[in-house]
Amino acid sequence: MGKKIDIEWSKLGFNYIKTDFRYISVWKDGKWDDGKLTEDNTLHISESSPVLHYGQSSFEGLKAYRTKEGKVQLFRPNRNAARMNDSCDKLLMPRIPEEKFVDAVKQVVKANIDYVPPYGTGATLYIRPIIMGVGDNIGVKPASEYIFTVFCMPVGPYFSGGLKPCNFVVQDEFDRAAPYGTGKQKVGGNYAASLQAHAKAAAGGYADCIYLDPATHTKIDEVGAANFIGITKNNEFVTPNSSSILPSITKYSLLYIAEHYLKMPVYEREVFVDKLDEFKEAGACGTAAVITPIGAIDYKGKRYVFHSETEVGPTIKKLYDILYGIQLGDVEAPEGWIYEVE
């Protein structure tokens, strides 16, 4: 600790802030270089880079947390490395060894350690790894060179009010992904495809749009850039299975927490949009979203309210407290979930 950072931590939203250092590594002639930290937050790439034309890129999102004792730790960065490598396989990009990925993340957090928000502020350090195809190219084919970069910034809640419920709308005139497309991978194009749907939902006063499964439009797929979780009236934890949703690390962590910490029956299964009243509580989960309680979902003129539009429900609150408690070091973590940085 040294540099004084002039940020009101508890007022942060989810916005870009330039921190001091980022990591960059280049893949050329069949191999990754050693990578280095740089203060330059711009990239200088060929106008013919496949990332610019054909969207050959993938990103990840993970966070660093400051504990009560002042230590800094990461939550399951190995899972982000594995998911980025799955995206690399899908888009024919070179894999990044897990050790290189985790080392790059640690280097960036250490180099920007004063930007890791203090414990108890509700803010965390969001880390954004990206891989992209660059170099001279014009045909639709994989790039000849790649850049892997990692940057970070302190953030507050993604959806407006942390544990305050938000309302969402099902807009079945939009799909974010195709049944056998890239919905399971974290690739740039999925997010470009979601911008119009998000803008329409936001214009209607909603936090985001809920996507249905693209093949039948009968089942919940995703809640904007987060996965859906629901607590049934029988107190079961349910989350959709689908070939077109992002395998959320938070979702898999919550499946484990619900089963092992709260002793609930857990199911990854179909969630039919016309049966939403089977749930007494619901939430949107993800690294950025953490768990945002879903107050209500509007679908075809009907409003499904979960617990309350203003207060978080008791089970979602318990899940949140355990998950965030693990991330902050207040609750004992399952083996291998926490990586210490400093």
Q: Which residues here bind ligand PLP, judged by CB under 6 A?
A: 61, 222, 225-227, 246, 248-251, 286-287
The answer to whether residue 291 forms part of the interface with ligand COI (CB under 6 A) is: no
Q: Are 64 and 315 in contact (CB under 8 A)?
A: no
Which residue is closest to ligand PLP by CB? 286
3-class SS of residue 317 = helix
Name the minimum Å distance from CB 222 to ligand PLP: 5
3-class SS of residue 338 = strand
Applying the rule CB under 6 A, the residues between 1 and 60 that interact with ligand COI are none
46 vs 243 by CB, closer to ligand PLP: 243
Spatial separation of the C-alpha atoms in residues 264 and 237, rounded to whole Å: 7
Name the minimum Å distance from CB 285 to ligand COI: 9
Interacting partner of 248 out of ligand COI, ligand PLP, none (Cβ under 5 to 8 A depending on kind): ligand PLP
| Lookup result for tokens 């949107």 | 284
**In the stretch 209-228, what mask flags binding to ligand COI with x, by CB under 6 A?**
----------------x---
The answer to whether residue 142 forms part of the interface with ligand COI (CB under 6 A) is: no
The answer to whether residue 61 forms part of the interface with ligand COI (CB under 6 A) is: yes
Number of chain residues interacting with ligand COI (CB under 6 A): 5
Q: How many CB atoms lie within 10 A of CB 260?
A: 12
The answer to whether residue 162 forms part of the interface with ligand COI (CB under 6 A) is: no
Displacement of CA 171 from its chain's centroid (Å): 21
Query: What are the backbone dihedrals phi and psi of residue 46, each rounded to the nearest 5 degrees, phi first?
Result: -60, 145
Of positions 77, 154, 214, 286, contacts ligand COI by CB under 6 A: 286
Of positions 169, 177, 288, 316, contacts ligand COI by CB under 6 A: 288
Task: Provide the residue type at 265 as one letter.
Answer: P
DSSP secondary-structure letter at 287? T
Confirm whether 186 is a catalytic residue: yes
Of positions 287, 292, 315, 327, contacts ligand COI by CB under 6 A: 287
Spatial separation of the C-alpha atoms in residues 298 and 304, rounded to whole Å: 6
Residue-wise over 115-150: b if at least 16 C-beta within 10 A, else e? bbbeeebebbbbbbbbbbbbbebeeeeebbbbbbbb
The single residue of 186, 219, 251, 280 carrying the catalytic annotation is: 186
DSSP alpha helices (H): ranges in 193-310?
195-203, 249-260
Instruction: Mark the segment that binds ligand COI (CB under 6 A) among 30-38, 110-118, 201-209, 281-289.
Output: 281-289
The answer to whether residue 284 forms part of the interface with ligand COI (CB under 6 A) is: no
Instruction: Mark the segment that binds ligand COI (CB under 6 A) among 21-29, 211-219, 257-265, 283-291.
Output: 283-291
Instruction: Mark the segment that binds ligand COI (CB under 6 A) among 20-28, 162-170, 171-179, 286-294.
Output: 286-294
Name the minimum Å distance from CB 239 to ligand COI: 16
DSSP secondary-structure letter at 11? G
Contacting residues for 18 by C-beta, under 8 A, at least 6 apart: 41, 153
Contacting residues for 44 by C-beta, under 8 A, at least 6 apart: none
220 vs 276 by CB, closer to ligand COI: 220
Token couple for 341: 């940085």
3-class SS of residue 16 = coil
Task: Provide the residue type at 273 as one letter.
Answer: V
Name the minimum Å distance from CB 64 to ligand COI: 13
Binding stretches for ligand COI (CB under 6 A): 61, 225, 286-288
- Any idea which residues carry the catalytic annotation? 186
